[in-house]
Structure 1
Amino acid sequence: MFALVDCNNFYASCERVFNPNLNGKPVAILSNNDGCIIARSDEAKNLGLPMGAPIFKWENFCKTNNIYVLSSNYPLYGDMSSRVMSILKQFTPDVEVYSIDESFLQFKGFENYNLNDYGQQIRQRVLKWTGIPTCVGIATTKGLSKVANKIARKFPKQTKGTYVIDTEDKRIKALKWLKIEDVWGIGRQLSKRLKAKGCKTALDFANLPEDWIKSNFSVIEARLHRDLNGIPTLTLEEYDQAKKVIATTRSFDYTYSDLSYIKERVATFAVTCAEKLRKQHSSCHTIIVFLKSNKHKKEQAQHSQSRAVHLPYATNSSLIISNTAVNAVTKIFKKGIEYKKAGVMITGFVPTNNYQLNIFEKENPKHLPLMQTIDQINLKYHTNKIKLASQDLERTWKMRQERLSPRYTTNINDIIKVK
């Protein structure tokens, strides 16, 4: 059996744990640079505040409806997420962290357990230890556990936040209730194709012939099809599985035409990519840098370009990756353009301890121990104490966060004081 544990209104719930005055009130969380709405409490949804709404257009709406609008506090959300996930691992060793607020659990050898009661225990412990409300969906496959979770979320009074699909009748009833566009893994375009075929519900999709699914869709849809029919096909994925591409991209707080500022941002992005690369014990061969103007300002000159650089040898050195990225963005940059976003991506990974050497060019052997020392120091102090000279020594990200709540759990100066 599989379970999907999903934190309800996670970003808003994190804020409510430390500010109980927000309980029962409409809450909205903004994206980077306080741009768009990326998370809403149920109260805000019921008022009609749409996801992705630009705050400058909906500011009056939020004020009129007394919606509390907050900047995204990622250090707080990330820390609260790790606390929730650590609690889930107490219930089973088989856990896949699917996103910041969702995890799949697999129950092996739980045949004699009452899984509905077990799901309630999970909810109660997470709520008691972290203050985060959750819903639990349990079924014979990952796909069906996602459906069960939606039912638990939709009907909290009837299910008490936990729902188990453990019979054929429950499976059919659940799939008949779920609309095709709400099925996990069915996107907007795919749902249009399926509706044209006559599929209006998840049950319609599950009843399609397997051979037709295989010939008309990808292997991903074929696996989902089998999962919804109660045939376990989608397995737990390793959370620590090495990535094939690492990217760090950010929108600037404002638009900039200053090359020195953009070079500093790109250098910081590149260093972050290199740190992630070393954590998974990999080195890269390719570095991709892009730079974009603000496409929403049609009256301004537009420019968007990327550049890929292939290195003669594999590296995970912040010095080399940063220097290469800065050189690339310098060639992309055009004078007179107001730039809004930049990013660095690295790929072409090989294991750091096993890759092909180049007879003519190689990395400076001093880089490896230097990077190890920097990582150890930064890990010890839980912050980027040591940076490259090309980086801003004061801040890692420069974002507009005018409505930011305190970092209650990650900054000693923001810890709540009890008087």
Structure 2
Amino acid sequence: MYALVDCNSFFCSVERVFHAGLRHKPLVVLSSNDGCIVALTPEAKAIGLHRGDPIFQVEDIVKTHHVEVFSGNMYLYAAMSKRITSILRHSIHQVENYSIDESFCNLTGYGGHFDLVGMMRDIGRKIQLWTDIPVSIGIAPTKTLAKMGSKFAKQYRGYKGVCLIESTAQRRKALSMFDLSDVWGIGRHTLECLNYHGISTPLEFADKGEAWVKSHLHKPGVQTWLELNGIPVIDTSEVVRRKTICTSRSFGDMVSDLASLKAAVASFSASCANKLRADGSAGKTVSVFLYSNRFREDLPQYNNTASVSLLLPTSDTMELTQAALRVLSAIYRPNILYKKAGVIISDIVSATPMQTDLFDTIHNRQERNSLMNTTDRLNHRYGLKTIRLAVEGTERQAWMVKSDHRSPNYLTDITQLLTIRI
């Protein structure tokens, strides 16, 4: 059996933890540059706001209903996510983080000693007590059904936070009530294929014969069909492993000079390298893209993308940044006001084992790996970007995103600890 622990309205719930008096009030969290709504509470949905709404288009609703607005703060959300994971791992041996607000728990062996619903309900209460973050939990024989159960637990209060899908009757009832487009693993093309063949519910899909499924769908679709029939086949570690890593931002203010673009691209490539090391991965191809502001038709327009392949896959910040800056210099055009840039790392493989190359020009890779690991530990201890490459700059720069409503990093920066007046 598997349990999927899903934090309810996670970004908004984290903001509520540190801002008293916001419970049951409409609240939204914005994307980078405070552009669009990326998360919102049920109270905000009830007054007509939607995920993806540009904030300038809904200013009247925000003002009329006194909606609380926050800039996204991923460092704060990640720190809270880490605390929740710690609570789960204290109670359950095998926990896999699927996303910042979702974790799979392998409950194999627990059913013989515990009432699984009661056990997970107690863990949910503990998470709420220790972090003030509400969670919804689904329990089922497969991870796909567990995700389905977590949505039922969130939607129907009668489950008291935990929905168990165990018997065949429970599984078929859940499949008949669920929206096919919301099933984990069914993307747009798969949905179109199923609808074309007259399949409109997960139950109708699950009842199809194996031969039909294999003849009409690729491997992910077959895996989803098996999971809906109660047969666990999805390895979450394979699902989570990234094929590419991208870091990009729309700039706070448009920039045209090469020095500012180098600082931005260096910062993005350093972020990609950090993600690679966190995943135990390495990348071989580095791509950089530049966009002007397509909404400013009065300005010259330009966009371009280029890539370079390295001799060996790497997660070395210096090596990846040097490659990204070479690509940037090749595609940069002067006298253009740029609005967005980004770095993409692809051809990602496991960092161990790594096949070396006779013609490798970097002869101290082991020492450089140690340097990167030490840098990561120091940045984790003293704050992100405490140690960085000089090309990234040290001052506030025009390309950096706007975040006029961002909460402090209460959990990771000692200079931003929550202050309570009594």
TM-score by length of 2: 0.91
1:409: which partner in 2? 411
277 and 184 in structure 1: CA distance in 2 versus 1, 3 angstrom threshold? closer
1:216: which partner in 2? 216
Partner of 2:286, secondary structure, is strand
CA shift, 1:316, in A, is: 4.1
Letter of the aligned partner of 1:141 in structure 2? T
CA shift, 1:30, in A, is: 0.2
d(CA) in 1 for partners of 2:221, 2:56: 39
1:178-217 to structure 2, matched below 5 A, reads 178-217=178-217
Letter of the aligned partner of 2:415 in structure 1? N
CA contact under 8 A between 2:382 and 2:413: conserved in structure 1? no
* Percentage of pairs with the same residue: 38
d(CA) in 2 for partners of 1:189, 1:244: 20
Partner of 1:56, secondary structure, is helix
1:120: which partner in 2? 121
d(CA) in 2 for partners of 1:352, 1:48: 50
345 and 358 in structure 1: CA distance in 2 versus 1, 3 angstrom threshold? farther
Partner of 2:390, secondary structure, is coil
389 and 110 in structure 1: CA distance in 2 versus 1, 3 angstrom threshold? closer
CA shift, 1:51, in A, is: 1.1
2:343: which partner in 1? 344
122 and 375 in structure 1: CA distance in 2 versus 1, 3 angstrom threshold? closer
2:294: which partner in 1? 295
1:140: which partner in 2? 141
d(CA) in 2 for partners of 1:107, 1:370: 39
CA contact under 8 A between 2:206 and 2:228: conserved in structure 1? yes
1:18: which partner in 2? 18
Partner of 1:355, secondary structure, is coil
Task: String of CA shifts for 1:278-331, please: whole Å, max 9, x gaps.
Answer: 455555432211112233444543322111112345554433322221121122
299 and 271 in structure 1: CA distance in 2 versus 1, 3 angstrom threshold? same
CA shift, 1:163, in A, is: 1.0
54 and 285 in structure 1: CA distance in 2 versus 1, 3 angstrom threshold? same
d(CA) in 2 for partners of 1:11, 1:413: 22
2:355: which partner in 1? 355
1:293-332 to structure 2, matched below 5 A, reads 293-313=292-312, 315-332=314-331
1:131: which partner in 2? 132
d(CA) in 1 for partners of 2:370, 2:4: 42
1:154: which partner in 2? 155
Structure 1 runs of 4+ aligned residues shifted over 6 Å read none
116 and 316 in structure 1: CA distance in 2 versus 1, 3 angstrom threshold? closer
Partner of 2:392, secondary structure, is coil
Partner of 2:308, secondary structure, is strand
d(CA) in 1 for partners of 2:352, 2:164: 45
Task: String of CA shifts for 1:259-289, please: whole Å, max 9, x gaps.
Answer: 2211111111122233344455555432211
409 and 312 in structure 1: CA distance in 2 versus 1, 3 angstrom threshold? closer
d(CA) in 1 for partners of 2:283, 2:154: 42
1:271: which partner in 2? 270
1:234: which partner in 2? 234
d(CA) in 2 for partners of 1:236, 1:28: 30
Alignment RMSD, CA only? 2.4
CA contact under 8 A between 2:190 and 2:221: conserved in structure 1? no
Partner of 1:268, secondary structure, is helix
Q: Gaps spanning 5+ residues in structure 1: where?
A: none
277 and 98 in structure 1: CA distance in 2 versus 1, 3 angstrom threshold? closer
2:174: which partner in 1? 174
Partner of 1:90, secondary structure, is helix
2:73: which partner in 1? 73
d(CA) in 2 for partners of 1:222, 1:268: 40
Partner of 1:3, secondary structure, is strand
**1:251 is the counterpart of 2:250:** yes
Task: String of CA shifts for 1:246-269, please: whole Å, max 9, x gaps.
Answer: 332222112222222111111111
184 and 373 in structure 1: CA distance in 2 versus 1, 3 angstrom threshold? closer
Partner of 1:261, secondary structure, is helix
166 and 314 in structure 1: CA distance in 2 versus 1, 3 angstrom threshold? closer
1:383: which partner in 2? 384
CA contact under 8 A between 2:75 and 2:409: conserved in structure 1? yes
d(CA) in 2 for partners of 1:181, 1:375: 40
CA shift, 1:85, in A, is: 0.9
d(CA) in 2 for partners of 1:190, 1:399: 36
Partner of 1:124, secondary structure, is helix
CA shift, 1:405, in A, is: 1.6
Higher mean C-alpha displacement, 228-237 vs 134-143: 228-237
d(CA) in 1 for partners of 2:120, 2:288: 45
d(CA) in 1 for partners of 2:243, 2:183: 27
Task: String of CA shifts for 1:65-121, please: whole Å, max 9, x gaps.
Answer: 221111011111110000011111123212111111011111111233211111211
CA contact under 8 A between 2:98 and 2:236: conserved in structure 1? no
Partner of 1:22, secondary structure, is coil
CA contact under 8 A between 2:3 and 2:104: conserved in structure 1? yes
Q: Gaps spanning 5+ residues in structure 2: where?
A: none
CA contact under 8 A between 1:284 and 1:316: conserved in structure 2? yes
d(CA) in 2 for partners of 1:168, 1:281: 39
Partner of 2:122, secondary structure, is helix
316 and 234 in structure 1: CA distance in 2 versus 1, 3 angstrom threshold? closer
TM-score by length of 1: 0.92
d(CA) in 2 for partners of 1:389, 1:227: 50
